[in-house]
């Protein structure tokens, strides 16, 4: 008999930041659907003019395209343009999820602020950019976890929350203070909430990706410079894929991970060994 992950059939998952074609959110949503979840997909409502060239060429439709992939797996999908950094928008999203599906079992906090001008010395960071990174990466996960975690606790069926963090929150490199602080904070949020929600059977874990080949990394190109970065930073010798992250997310949400909570898992090809 083949080994299978169990416990997700007929459950409902919310995946934030799920609209990009080359991404982490898209494969998470699709793999959760394959495991048996109906899926709620959120995105920011990007303008098609902001899509990468390959998305435009493919006729990509953001979260609607991912919803089609979820439905192709035989599961239901709901899409919602929502801002995780707005607590009122999060409450409205929760109401829509309950109206549409009547339950919530899995939350994946994947939405993240776009890489921007915050990657500089602390003394040079614009406070507005600092707030944007913290608002989306940390506050957004807090708002989502607070609202959907309460629904899980009240329903009495347990549940799983997975926060997509980063090894940046452990490596703590110079010129990354806003991003690294947001991700280190997300790992603290994970650990604290895991202990608080354990009695209700709600498990809370984080996944810390390393260098993953997504459209967010396109500013680095894919030439020899990219290969040098990989060789210098990834012992296993390749960049990660969204699927690499999706596999561990599905595992953490399954019955096979029933005794795992409060952990921040490095999924990075061996880049960082700190725990």
Q: 109: Cβ–Cβ under 8 A, 6 or more apart, which residues?
A: 16, 84, 140, 141, 144, 145, 161, 162, 163, 164, 186
CA distance 70 to 29: 7
Asked if 46 and 62 count as a contact pair (C-beta separation under 8 A), the reply is yes
Name the DSSP letter for residue 237: S
Q: Using alpha carbons, select from 247, 161, 159 the residue that is nearest to residue 209.
A: 247
What value does the CA radius of gyration of the chain take, rounded to a whole number of Å?
Answer: 18
What DSSP assignment string belongs to 123-184?
A: GG--HHHHHHHHIIIIIHHHHHHHHHHHHHHHHTS-EEEEEE--THHHH--TT-HHHHHHHH
Q: Where are the alpha helices (DSSP H) in the chain?
A: 25-34, 53-57, 63-72, 87-101, 127-134, 140-155, 168-171, 177-197, 224-233, 242-253
Active site residues: 179
Nearest to 243 by CA among 271, 201, 213: 213
Q: Which of 239, 275, 257, 232 is nearest to 5 (CA)?
A: 257
């Amino acid at each position: 008999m083949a080994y299978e992950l169990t416990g997700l059939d007929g459950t409902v998952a919310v995946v934030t930041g799920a609209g990009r074609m080359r991404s982490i959110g898209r494969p998470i949503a699709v793999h959760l659907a394959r495991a048996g979840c109906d899926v709620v997909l959120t995105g920011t409502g990007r303008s098609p003019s902001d899509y990468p060239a390959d998305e435009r060429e493919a006729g990509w439709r953001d979260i609607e395209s991912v919803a089609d992939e979820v439905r192709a797996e035989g599961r239901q999908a709901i899409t919602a343009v929502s801002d995780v950094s707005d607590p009122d928008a999060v409450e409205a999203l929760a109401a829509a999820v309950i109206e549409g599906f009547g339950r919530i079992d899995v939350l994946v906090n994947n939405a993240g602020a776009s890489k921007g001008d915050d990657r500089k010395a602390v003394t040079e960071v614009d406070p507005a950019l600092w707030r944007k990174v913290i608002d989306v990466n940390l506050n957004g996960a807090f708002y989502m976890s607070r609202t959907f975690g309460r629904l899980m606790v009240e329903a009495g069926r347990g549940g799983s929350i997975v926060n997509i963090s980063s090894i940046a929150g452990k490596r703590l490199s110079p010129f990354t203070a806003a991003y690294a602080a947001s991700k280190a904070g997300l790992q603290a949020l994970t650990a604290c909430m895991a202990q608080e929600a354990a009695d209700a059977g709600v498990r809370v874990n984080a996944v810390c990706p390393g260098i993953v080949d997504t459209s967010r990394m396109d500013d680095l190109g894919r030439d020899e410079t990219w290969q040098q970065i990989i060789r210098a930073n990834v012992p296993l010798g390749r960049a990660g894929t969204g699927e690499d992250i999706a596999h561990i997310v599905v595992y953490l949400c399954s019955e096979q991970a029933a005794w795992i909570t409060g952990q921040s898992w490095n999924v990075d090809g061996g880049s960082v060994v700190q725990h």
